Amino acid sequence: MKTYQRVRERGTVETVAGNPQDRMAAIRAVVEHKQYAKIDGCMIDLFTASAIVAVHDRLNEQNRAKFANMPAPKMGLLAFKLIA
């Protein structure tokens, strides 16, 4: 499944990611543009996206692959558990 984006009525960008690389690219775009987005059916804000990116960048290769395969909402919950 490919990644596609659609702009909703009120300007919210919705991203559906089919693979881990596209999902992480969409989350990194939230951090880069400082604008929330709907990823995998869940609104991801700047604070959550930066937590996900921080945890993703510090994991080893094996755990990074497991983390990237999770849906975005689960990645956010796990990121906050690991940071706290």
For residues 52-61, give the mean pLDDT.
Answer: 97
Distance from C-alpha of 83 to C-alpha of 74, rounded to nearest angstrom: 14
The number of residues making up the chain comes to 84
Provide the pLDDT confidence category of residue 40 given band limits of 50, 70 and 90. confident
DSSP SS3 for 16 = strand
Looking at residue 72, its pLDDT comes to 92
Q: Which residue has the higher pLDDT, 52 or 41?
A: 52
Q: What is the pTM of this model?
A: 0.83
Burial of 44 (0-12, 13-18, 19+ CB in 10 A): buried
Provide the pLDDT confidence category of residue 1 given band limits of 50, 70 and 90. very low
Q: Average pLDDT over the chain, rounded to whole?
A: 87
Looking at residue 48, its pLDDT comes to 97
